[in-house]
Amino acid sequence: MNILILGSGGREHAFTLKLSESKKVNQIFVAPGNAGTDKIATNININPTDFAAVKQTVLENDIKMVVVGPEAPLVAGVHDFFLADNDLKYIPVIGPKKDGATLEGSKDFSKQFMQKYGVPTARYQSFTKENLTEGFTFLGTLAPPYVLKADGLAAGKGVLILNSLEEAKAELKEMVSNQKFGEASSTVVIEEFLKGIELSVFVLTDGKNYKILPSAKDYKRIGEGDTGLNTGGMGAISPVPFADDAFLNKVEELVVKPTIEGLQKDGIDYKGFIFIGLMNDNGNPSVVEYNVRMGDPETEVVLPRIESDLFDLFDGVANQNLDKKSFSVTSKTATTVMLVAGGYPEVYQKGKEISGFETIENSIAFHAGTTIKDDKVVTNGGRVMAVTSFGETIEEALEKSYKSIDKIHFDKMNYRKDIGFDLI
């Protein structure tokens, strides 16, 4: 079978590599892909939210399954587009329809959903410019730090965590009255600050049955010791020592089951990944957010740990018989360290030649923001490459990643040297 993967990051390179190992997968196309996917699949230079171009790609290349990497095409309704089209409606899409994608597309919706189905999460209220004064009052009932979230998608920038009440009030006004994050912040969720340590839990569901995939910890801040600006993610580790069986059982009972049941009760037929970002506060899970896709860079440690055929799980999603499928996971630890362009997550340059990655032996270099220019691999984004390694321990895996990174070069390359610092 031929498969189309939508997206262009390290996550999509990891999907491509894993699916290329399946005997049941013939050709893989990636749209638009990167220099890494170009080596092992066929890149198609289209925008994943250009559905007419996606349709043409599917029909021209005899594609029989579509795997959606990022949230944007899902929130824009790519799955609904397929179901409404006579030529495409029998082609399975791994990724929810628009209704399910609202779990990520609207924080207000996802908070209401959690409250309705008893999923543990921070106390919250939502505000618009119409009830701004009530927003100020609600802020006054909370203890600092104050958490303000733009309701809609804001390219990962829509969450503000503020220490002073005055600042929180000013930012709330900026968000709802002056559209600080555009239309995305015309509604703002204000919620209690959650203490604890964060974990990413990944669930794959066919709408009825589900599988819990390996969980991971992501390092979101640009600076060592978790300081500085938020990024898309600077590194990840799987498994996570504190996410032991007892904790993951709690997550399954208190979060995963009510989520899957809630989707069914709401009449949302959900086929795809649910990425649950949660806080572990003294052994108790509390959900920070849902995403409707895999995490990046978490995918670069989660998928390499899966030893069995990933396509088989996707086939189970497509045919709604995921309960008949099984998968195996290595007990080894996987770590990934993200190489980023100097200046990221603020201003940075593209087009820098990358060298040395072909010679690394004990790691996998997943390409993220890379492209090919004049036969050379050059940087094409803020997050450039994720270097993944295995070890019996976190330390052993990290040592391999950092040794491999010593061989890779591009102008103004930056990375965190302390991934896993809080787990070791």
Which chain residues interact with ligand GLY by CB under 6 A? Answer: 218, 232-233, 291, 295-296, 298
Residue 54 has a CB neighbour count (10 Å cut-off) of 25
Strands 333-341 and 413-414: antiparallel
Site for ligand AMP in 32-71 (CB under 6 A): none
Site for ligand AMP in 190-209 (CB under 6 A): 191, 193-194, 198
Q: Helices then strands (H, E): number in the chain?
A: 14, 23
| DSSP secondary structure letter of residue 412 | T
Number of residues lying near ligand AMP (CB under 6 A):
11
Site map (CB under 6 A) of ligand AMP, residues 353-392, x = contact: ----------------------------------------
Q: Tell the smallest beta-carbon distance from residue 158 to ligand AMP (Å).
A: 6
Place of tokens 């209690």: 192
- Binder of ligand AMP out of 83, 159, 212, 413 (CB under 6 A): 159
Answer for the pair 86, 58: CB distance below 8 angstroms, yes or no: no
The yes or no reply on residue 288 touching ligand AMP (CB under 6 A) is yes
Task: Name which of ligand AMP, ligand GLY, none residue 289 binds, using a CB cut-off of 5 to 8 Å depending on partner kind.
Answer: ligand AMP
The yes or no reply on residue 399 touching ligand AMP (CB under 6 A) is no
Task: Name which of ligand GLY, ligand AMP, none residue 296 binds, using a CB cut-off of 5 to 8 Å depending on partner kind.
Answer: ligand GLY
Q: Tell the smallest beta-carbon distance from residue 295 to ligand GLY (Å).
A: 4
Residue 115 CA to residue 252 CA, distance in Å, equals: 17
Structure tokens belonging to residue 245: 């069986």
Residue 79: strand, helix, or coil: helix
Residue 20 has a CB neighbour count (10 Å cut-off) of 15
- Binder of ligand AMP out of 64, 208, 220, 409 (CB under 6 A): 220
DSSP 344-365: TTSS-----B-BSGGG--SSEE
Considering the complex, state which of residue 61 and residue 230 has its C-beta at the smaller distance from ligand GLY: 230
Task: Name which of ligand AMP, ligand GLY, none residue 309 binds, using a CB cut-off of 5 to 8 Å depending on partner kind.
Answer: none
Residue 232 CA to residue 218 CA, distance in Å, equals: 9
Q: Tell the smallest beta-carbon distance from residue 220 to ligand AMP (Å).
A: 6
Q: List residues bridging with 121 in a β-sheet.
A: 287
Considering the complex, state which of residue 69 and residue 316 has its C-beta at the smaller distance from ligand GLY: 69
Answer for the pair 420, 333: CB distance below 8 angstroms, yes or no: no
Residues that bind ligand AMP in the complex, under the rule CB under 6 A? 122, 147, 159, 191, 193-194, 198, 220, 277, 288-289
